[in-house]
């Protein structure tokens, strides 16, 4: 059974607490090593990424240098091994592309994984690699090495990807398109093994969305392939998004786009506008007001399948004052969402005039 990025991080967190090495398997571009990197950010510990495919066995085991006085060989270590002063007291070292490693390199990894050779206390080893069926240069894996790990297989997940893209500010056209065409989040069908859609390539594609139309298709094609790029270009050409400030100022009179795909893009824009973090009390009230008018606009003009993308408990919990969100009349009236209100994290003092705004 496959996991998504979020559950993979949860499993990795627990395996680390029990000092059990983890091997994350999955297709190219779905964020295997990125998930581990995100975990280190959350734990505030060090992170080292070692690409095994480009190493030699001596890089792991060390190079023997003779000590003529002691008549012994001294093993010189590679620079990438964790150093407490440079990398911190605790951390995760990930051996990426492990499925591309030669048998000799895999054998050199035995002592590192089982005996923690070269790893100081507080540092936890894990690995990530592609699957052989993904045509990603993955080779045969030594059963002796595999048996030293716990194994988790991860797949691309739309909700996890959208949440991550919103957090890092990927262009809303990308998130809207992926909601409209979720099958193109990750697809290797008919791929030429050069450019094909993955969460990683869509993240890069977000950087070229604002290019001129004629150039944008060529740039997209180089990232996600010709078919997905053509579909995105057709989607982008019919996108006619209203101004978000107009929605906040006058939601009842602001026009709604007619194309279904454009509505999904608009839902991503509305959700990101509603959960934008603010610090001052007046800004927090403004944020709740944005939520209220967003819900009003969505309820009045957009179909339920699209408005669901706007109202997600985990998204709303990112509001600066989630308690105020719970007491927003528009949210309390939201159909079918009552059981989820308890999932919102409370924080900060309750704003006395929230009901007046909402």
pLDDT along the chain (358 residues), means of 10: 92 96 92 93 95 87 87 88 94 90 86 90 93 66 87 94 89 88 87 83 94 90 93 80 64 64 64 50 48 58 55 47 47 44 35 34
Structure tokens at 197: 């859609």
Return the pLDDT at 324.
46
Q: Residue ranges of the domains in the chain?
A: 5-153, 156-238, 242-253+276-358
Dihedral, 99, 104, 109, 110 alpha carbons, nearest 10: 110
- What CA–CA distance (Å, rounded) separates 215 from 340? 44
Q: Quick one: tokens of 148?
A: 């030293």
Burial class (CB in 10 A: 0-12, 13-18, 19+), 70: exposed
pLDDT of residue 157: 94
CA distances from 263 to 306, 310, 343 (A): 7, 11, 27
Which CATH code, of 3.20.20.150, 3.30.2180.10, 3.40.50.300, 3.40.50.150, is assigned to 5-153?
Answer: 3.40.50.300
């Amino acid at each position: 059974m496959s996991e998504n990025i979020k559950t993979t991080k949860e499993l990795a967190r627990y395996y680390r607490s029990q000092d059990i090495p983890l091997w994350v398997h999955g297709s190219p571009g779905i964020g295997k090593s990125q998930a581990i990197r995100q975990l280190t950010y959350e734990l505030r510990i060090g992170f080292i990424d070692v690409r095994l495919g480009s190493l030699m066995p001596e890089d792991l085991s060390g190079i023997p240098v003779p000590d003529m006085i002691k008549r012994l060989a001294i093993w010189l270590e590679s620079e990438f091994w964790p150093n407490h002063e440079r990398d911190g007291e605790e951390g995760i070292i990930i051996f990426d592309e492990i499925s591309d490693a030669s048998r000799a390199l895999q054998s050199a990894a035995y002592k590192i994984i089982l005996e923690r050779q070269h790893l100081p206390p507080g540092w936890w080893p894990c690995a990530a690699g592609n699957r052989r069926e993904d045509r990603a240069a993955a080779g045969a894996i030594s059963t002796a090495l595999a048996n030293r790990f716990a194994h988790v297989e991860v797949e691309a997940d739309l909700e996890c990807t959208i949440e991550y893209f919103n957090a890092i500010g990927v262009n809303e056209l990308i998130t809207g398109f992926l909601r409209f065409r979720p099958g193109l989040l990750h697809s290797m069908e008919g791929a030429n093994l050069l450019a094909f859609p993955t969460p990683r390539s869509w993240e890069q594609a977000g950087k070229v969305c604002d290019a001129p139309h004629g150039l944008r298709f060529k740039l997209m094609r180089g990232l996600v392939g010709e078919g997905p790029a053509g579909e995105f270009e057709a989607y982008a050409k019919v996108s006619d998004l209203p101004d978000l400030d107009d929605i906040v100022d006058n939601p009842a009179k602001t026009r709604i786009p007619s194309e279904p795909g454009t509505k999904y893009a608009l839902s991503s824009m509305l959700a990101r506008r509603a959960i934008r973090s603010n610090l001052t009390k007046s800004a927090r009230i403004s944020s709740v007001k944005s939520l209220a008018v967003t819900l009003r606009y969505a309820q009045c003009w957009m179909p339920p399948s699209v408005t669901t993308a706007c109202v997600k408990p985990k998204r709303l919990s990112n509001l600066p004052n989630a308690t105020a969100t719970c007491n927003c009349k528009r949210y309390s009236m939201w159909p079918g969402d009552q059981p989820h209100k308890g999932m919102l994290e409370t924080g900060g003092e309750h704003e006395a005039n929230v009901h007046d705004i909402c």
